[in-house]
Structure 1
Amino acid sequence: MRVYKFGGASVKDANGVKNLASVLKTTGYKSTLVVVSAMGKTTNAMELVIKNYFENKAELQSSILEVIKYHNEILLDLFDNEQHQVFRSVKSLFDELALFFKSNKSPDYNFVYDQTIGFGELISTTIISYYLNEIGLANNWIDVRDFIKTDNYYRRANINWEKTQGNITSNFDTTKLNITQGFLGSDANNFTTTLGREGSDYTAAIFAYCLNANDVTIWKDVPGVLNADPRYFENPQLLHQISYREAIELAFYGASVIHPKTLQPLQQKEIPLYVKSFLDPKSDGTCVSKGKALKPEIPCFIVKKNQILISLSSLDFSYIVEENISEIFSLLHYYKMKVDVIQNSAISFSVCVDNIYNNRDKLIQHLKAKFNVTCYDNVSLYTIRHYNDVAIKELEKDKTVLLKQLTQGTVQIVTK
């Protein structure tokens, strides 16, 4: 059993869908599970739909129509006959979305988000499944929500491994080519949940773990895992092999190629992970497996944009000790802030956070009751693994450094 994952960039248009089919033909597709994300920037478009639902009802329908138009263009490029069943199946999904907005009574943004955002994945896999059947690649479309069960921590759900394993063991046909959605699951009440942005990689790993798969391949628009994101750094280099440990470190610090939760289940069963280019499926790409040294051993650069740096000091110049730190972390947890860097001295404490749930103002107000608070918005957090002096100097050039922290093998720098 093999597990493939294709991201949104790989299926952003009809040519992408055709290329996915070409990859399957080139590499083989028997006993294969294909996990697919929403097409192109559909998730972003759906987030605008949700925003309009809450804040601008007058624009809701037009934003939905944009998503419909985008997918209809792909359908018309893939299928000659507009009477094809795929058109009715996709329309049915959009009708289901419209019905949810009409009937929903919940004011909870996170609940509404999870009930609607996944239509991108449901639609993309429906289109791809029909297309593959059309060209002779017989496949089985499955609803991932019937297999992956979670709690109801909407937008970042936690897996119920026992129920998920039972569902997959009992109901999954490993002999076929199966197509399913990334990113999604369902809770005990069968409401849709999501595993966090970029969670489709995690979906692939969950299935691989439960199926005891031979390997997982993530198909990207880059040749493999690079030592830097080409969007922000010049001349990135391909890493040919990485250990699970090193890959988990890179993922923890925010490397965008591999989702942070993806590697843990794979490591437990020593299932190799390959990251390859969907434009060159025969290339070796990057192999992530047990005990493999980083090859080549060069500095690896990671950047996280739009972070918030919060610096605290005590109102009376007393020490910031265990009691204060415990309270600070309790508040960070309460307001669902993802902590990326911590630095403290005798009378100060700084933390760089990711404001996923938009609770920044509430947190700051709460902290001001006990601390002097300085807050820097829209900062960038740079991490260099296997750093050297040249790498640090190059990174700091023409930037204002607000925080810098070095440990063995890793440096983190917050800049404005």
Structure 2
Amino acid sequence: MQIYKFGGGSLIDHKAIEQAIKIVDNIHNEPTLIVISAFAKTTNALENILFLARNHMDFSNDLLNLKNFHEKIASYFFKNLNHPIFSDINQCFQQLEHALYNYKNWEYDIHYDATISYGEILSTTILHYIFDYFHIPNVLLDARDIIITDTQHRDAIVNWELTNKMIDEKVKPLLQSNNLFLTQGFIGRSIDGYVSTLGREGSDFSAAIFANCLDAKAVTIWKDVPGIFNANPKLFKNAVLLHHIDYKEAFTLAYYGATVLHPKTIKPLQNKKIKLFVKDFYNPTLDGTLIDDNTSDDEHISSLIIKNDQVLVSIAPKNLLFLNENDLSLIFYTFADLNIRINLMQLDAFNFYVCVNNDIVKLPILLNKLNESFNTDLTYNLSLVTITYYDKSDFDILNNSKIYIEQINDNIKQCLVDSINL
């Protein structure tokens, strides 16, 4: 058993789907489950539509454009507009529109999961029919009936016991008579029955979940780059391809923001020593990057990670005294209660500085809560730069940059600086 994952950055049009077909054609007879993301930029489009809907603004044109985009991909392969693929696409958009209009009073995170999840539902529905068109037998599995999570929407925690049970009941029996399976990345269902999502870019994690539960021999993530680099190859011409890294190094890169992998992907694979390949979608014969538990041949190559659209939250006591342990406890509780991850923090005599992602929904709520007890100030449009093995680094990106806060720990240097636009 092996797991493939096709990301939305690769599935951008009908030509990309034809390339995916070529890759699948070379699988031969090995049982394979393919995890699929939403098509290119669909998640971003749905997030914008959700924002309009919840703010009582017209989203009809945006929704129509998104529908046309999916129908255009389908119509390249199916000229007969009476084909069932079009009625299925139409039904998906009817359900999506219903969710947008009728769930506005729901808590934002629950409403988010109920609507954004349609990106993956649409992509797998379309690919299921296209695979059939190319005479590739496949079984479409609904991840909402398999991946069971807690109720922490937008960043749900997997219930491994129930998920294993669902895979034992709904997937493993099908392995006896089928070789190829398609399913959605990113999405699942909470224990109270609502659609849940695993965090932005969570399809990699979905692939790791299925791999762990099915005892797969390997996971291959197909990307629009030849593998994992020590810096973004689209921005840095001298970026180096990492042919092999161990699980710990991969987790470190993902944790600090390398977009090529979701941070939760590594642990389920490491627990069962499942190999992870990151390969070039358009050049599938290239080796790419291998991630496993072998550390003997690894070089310690410095890597550069840039997270843009960061916000610095400065927190100070209202009484002009220093922050004490009770203050810090309240601050951390407030962040945890809103499920806002702290990317970097620093404490001095009078202020507590926190770097977070720019979440336009949660940040205003955070400020309202913090301002009950503290004075706060925000600095927007910043970049968080992380350099691993910084003592060996020749990256000069921090030269002449204003550094707001910084931290050096375990040969990793992090600096929050003015926005880096390369």
Q: TM-score range by the shorter chain?
A: over 0.9
Match of 1:244 in 2: 247
Q: C-alpha distance in 2, partners of 1:205/1:143?
A: 16
Query: Aligned partner of 1:185: which letter?
Result: G
Match of 1:268 in 2: 271
Match of 2:67 in 1: 68
Name whichever of 143-152 and 73-82 sits farther off. Answer: 73-82
Q: Do the aligned residues in 1 keep the contact of 2:278 with 2:290 (CA within 8 Å)?
A: yes
SS of residue matched to 1:291: coil
Match of 1:47 in 2: 47
Shift of 1:129: 1.1
**Structure 1 runs not aligned, ≥5 long:** none
Match of 1:207 in 2: 210
Shift of 1:339: 0.3
**Structure 2 runs not aligned, ≥5 long:** none
Match of 1:395 in 2: 397
Match of 2:87 in 1: 88
SS of residue matched to 2:356: strand
Shift of 1:409: 1.4
Deviations 1:329-357 (A, max 9, x none): 11222333210112224444322112436
Shift of 1:249: 1.0
Count of matched residue positions in the alignment of Structure 1 and Structure 2: 414
Q: Do the aligned residues in 2 keep the contact of 1:301 with 1:382 (CA within 8 Å)?
A: yes
Q: C-alpha distance in 2, partners of 1:29/1:378?
A: 50
Q: How does 1:216-365 map to 2 (within 5 A)?
A: 216-292=219-295, 295-314=298-317, 318-356=321-359, 358-365=361-368
Q: Do the aligned residues in 1 keep the contact of 2:387 with 2:393 (CA within 8 Å)?
A: no
Q: Do the aligned residues in 2 keep the contact of 1:336 with 1:357 (CA within 8 Å)?
A: no
Match of 2:141 in 1: 142
Query: Aligned partner of 1:47: which letter?
Result: E
SS of residue matched to 1:388: helix
Match of 2:384 in 1: 381
SS of residue matched to 2:269: helix
Q: C-alpha distance in 1, partners of 2:193/2:320?
A: 52
Match of 2:168 in 1: 169
Query: Aligned partner of 2:402: which letter?
Result: T
Name whichever of 246-255 and 295-304 sits farther off. Answer: 295-304
Question: Any runs of at least 4 consecutive aligned residues in structure 1 with deviations exceeding 6 A, and if so which?
Answer: none
Identity %: 36
Deviations 1:109-129 (A, max 9, x none): 222211111111111111111
Match of 1:111 in 2: 110
Q: C-alpha distance in 1, partners of 2:236/2:126?
A: 35
Match of 1:154 in 2: 153
Q: C-alpha distance in 2, partners of 1:374/1:95?
A: 43
Q: Does residue 412 of structure 2 align to residue 413 of structure 1?
A: no
SS of residue matched to 2:149: coil
Match of 2:129 in 1: 130
Shift of 1:221: 0.3
Q: TM-score, normalised by structure 1?
A: 0.93
Shift of 1:52: 1.8
Q: Do the aligned residues in 2 keep the contact of 1:240 with 1:295 (CA within 8 Å)?
A: no
Deviations 1:395-414 (A, max 9, x none): 21242111221122100011
